[in-house]
Each structure stands twice: as structure tokens, then as C-alpha cells.
Amino acid sequence: MDMGNQHPAISRLQEIQKEVKSIEQQVIGFSGLSDDKNYKKLERFLTKQLFEIDSVDTEGKGDIQQARKRAAQETERLLKELEQNANHPHRIEIENIFKEAQSLVKEKIVPFYSGGNRVADEFEEGIQDIILRLTHVKTGGKISLRKARYHTLTKICAVQEIIEDCMKKQPSLPLSEDAHPSVARINSVMCEVNKARGTLIALLMGVNSTETCRHLSCVLSGLIADLDALDVCGRTEIRNYRREVVEDINKLLKYLDLEEEADTTYAFDLGQNHSILKIEKVLKRMREIKNELLQAQNPPELYLSSKMELQGLIGQLDEVSLEKNPCIREARRRAVIEVQTLITYIDLKEALEKRKTLACEEHPSHKAVWDILGNLSEIQGEVLSFDGNRTDKNYIRLEELLTKQLLALDAVDPQGEEKCKAARKQAVKLAQNILSYLDLKSDEWEY
């Protein structure tokens, strides 16, 4: 239909659809909760568009009715997606973990900056546990969940970093006020910076409703201006002292940009992160080596070269930059386990091959352990090939096979033989490691 002769109702519906389309990415990427201001803003906007669509008069014409129906369906789809993003079970899980972090900060950190003596050891242990649990929250590749997890991790890791940096510093002031009149002002600024550090932590964790990031930024910038205006009379030690305090303030200012940075960049999307790409490259090569081994007509010929290359891959993973990102740290940890498991598989295969060439007599219990190790080697090969989740029948079968081997090892009586005791202990550890590896492969974690 020519645009000049298009029915006004159709034109109006197209305008509404264009407006709805303009906020689609905001809805898809919405990572907050249903009580957030932005949620209510998007909800009001979409609801208003629904009313606008409903008010379009179709004049009983079929084409206009269809156009109105399509526009309404698209708007309702975005409203539904917005609601799902805010109420997704894993989004609620992220929020609950964050609330635990808030409680920890209120209990251990806020008192510290209010005159407490020290940060309790329980804080470090508690915050590490919270960070680990957050990295294991499943996002299913959903942008809103990845953003929510990234935002939450960024704030908690920032608090951890601020505390660690503070704890590394000497508790006494570096210079005596007798050295120069300007030292007294620098010392005073240091006290203000320490208070600002506590305020910043409270802001990042949402436990301070009386302060704002903008006001704190102005306060810190003012402190830098005060320090810049000081006359240090060319005294190198005072100049260095002032520079250290300025550096401390700039670090705090950097943390105030976290929220804006997270919303204006795609830092939450680790798919194109350099460190993740390096890890993926290592994993790709590891899988190629694994497939070559499992499909080879004569695997022993590949054992030595494969182990050497796998050790090299471990070295490459050691060089991966973590970028202070717990998700990258977890991705690297898992990759290391993947490579080490394949090395262990080769080591056991080599040991079993070597055992075939030995014709000496041995204790029955020791032989029983080696028979079980042979079974574990076969099962481990299956586990290495497994590519499913915990609901798969094959997962349940492999788990049962490994449990049976553990029970068989438990039934072996060493009869006082130290060699047999050691062998059984190693076999139990191997079986447990294979079970853990099976769990790791099937937990559907993603960065």
C-alpha cells in the first residue's frame, strides 16, 4: 500500500510499534527487580502503549484489526518478558545472596568504620563464600541474569578489594605533624578518606540511605583540590605522602563509577573476553587430544606426546589474567580440572599397561585393588565422553557404577599390608575425583 494513501489508524499503530521497539533492548537487558524505579518506568510506558493501541478505531476493517492485534501482542510480549526478568527464580537467588552480603557488611564492616578495632576474620570467609555462590548461579545465557550477576559480583568484589587494600596499610600515620605545617592538613584529609571509605562500602552495598554517590564524589574531589592547594615547600617526603593520599582518593572515586560502567558497557558479557577466549582455546585443544586418545587404535603410542601437550596447556591456563573477575577465575579452575583429569586418565592407563608386563606374585588384596582400578579406568573413559546433565539416564548409570567401585574398595581387606592400604587409599581418591568431575561436567555452569 502506498504510504501516502495509508489509513491513519494503520499509521498510528506503526508509530506505536516503533516506540515499543525503541525500548525492547532495555526490557531484554533489564536486570533489576519489580520494585526498581526503572521497572516501574518501563511497565508504565508499555501499559500506556497498550491503552493507545486499544484506543485505535478499527472501523470494523479486517486489516486494521489484524494490525492492532499484532501491535498488542508485541507489547504484551515485552511486558511479560519484563515481569519474567524481574521475578526469575535465579534473579531472586542473586538478590537473596546479595542480602546475605548486606547483612555481613552491616555486622562486620560498618562497626569497623564507626570506631571498631578490626575487621573480623569471619568477614573474609563469609564474603568468599558469597562470591563463590554467586559465580555458580545459572544464567542460561539470559542477558538480564548475566547483568544482574555481574552487577552484584562487581559490588561485592569491590568491597572485598577496598577492605583488603585498607588492611594492608600501616595503622599509624606516616609523618609527624612536626615535620611541616601542611602535614597536619594531609593527616586530617586521611581521616576524612577513611570515613569516606566506610561510606563508599555502605553505598555499594545499599546499606546507607542518607548518602548519595554524587555527594560522596563531590566530597572526595574537594579533598583532592585541598591537597593540590597545599604548599609542601619542595619537601620530597611530604610530596610523596600527599601523592599517596591522592592515589587513595582516586581509587575510591573509581569505585563510584561501577554502576554507570556496568550499564554502559558489555563487561557482563564474557563471551568476547580475552581471558575467556584463551581458556576456550585451551579447552578446544584439550577436547581434540581427548578424542584422539579415546578413538585411537593403539592409544599407548599417544600417551607420552599427549601428556606433554596437556602439561603445556596447564601452563597456558596459569598465564590467563583473572582481571579480578570471579567468573573468569571459576572458568579457569574448571578448565584446569578438565585438563588434569585427562592427564590422570593417561597416567592410570600407563600404569595398567605396565602392570601387564609384570609377572610377579602379589597379595590378593593388592590384586583386588588393581582390578577395581581397571574398572575405574573404563568408567573414567565414559565420564570423559559424557555430555549431558544430571537428569540423563547415562549420568545416573555412571554415578551408580562409581558408587559400586567405592563400595568394592571399602570391602577390600588390606590384612595389614601397607602397600595395599596405600593403593586402596589412592583408588578411593581417584573414584571420588571421577565422581566430582562427573558432577562438574553436568552442573550446566556458564560464565
Distance CA 237, CA 245 (A): 13
pLDDT band for 265, please (50, 70, 90 cuts). very low
List all residues 6 or more positions away from 300 whose beta carbon is below 8 Å from its beta carbon.
Answer: 349, 350, 353
If you average pLDDT over every residue of the chain, what do you get?
Answer: 86
Distance CA 221, CA 332 (A): 38
Full set of structural domains in the chain with CATH:
8-87 (1.20.58.120), 112-262 (no CATH), 274-442 (1.20.58.120)
CB 313 within 8 A of CB 409: no
**What per-residue string of b and e applies to 315-339 under the rule 16 or more CB within 10 Å gives b?**
eebeebeeeebbbbbbbbebbbebb
Average pLDDT on 58-72 reads 91
E strands present in 100-230: none
With CA atoms as reference, report the closest residue to 211 among 134, 113, 122: 113
List all residues 6 or more positions away from 419 whose beta carbon is below 8 Å from its beta carbon.
Answer: 363, 366
CB 71 within 8 A of CB 21: no
Lowest mean pLDDT: which of 37-41, 233-237, 342-346, 371-375? 233-237
- Dihedral class, residue 305 (left if φ above 0, else alpha if ψ from -120 to 50, else beta): alpha
With CA atoms as reference, report the closest residue to 49 among 72, 23, 26: 72
Q: Could you identify the residue written with the cell 581427548? A: 290
pLDDT in tens, 379-432: 999 999 998 888 899 999 999 999 999 999 999 888 888 888 898 999 999 999
Please tell me the predicted confidence (pLDDT) of residue 28: 92
In this prediction the pTM is: 0.75
With CA atoms as reference, report the closest residue to 157 among 317, 331, 322: 322
pLDDT in tens, 9-30: 999 999 999 999 999 999 999 9
Please tell me the predicted confidence (pLDDT) of residue 171: 43
Distance CA 426, CA 432 (A): 10
Distance CA 193, CA 23 (A): 40
417 in helix, strand or coil?
A: coil
With CA atoms as reference, report the closest residue to 408 among 373, 364, 363: 373
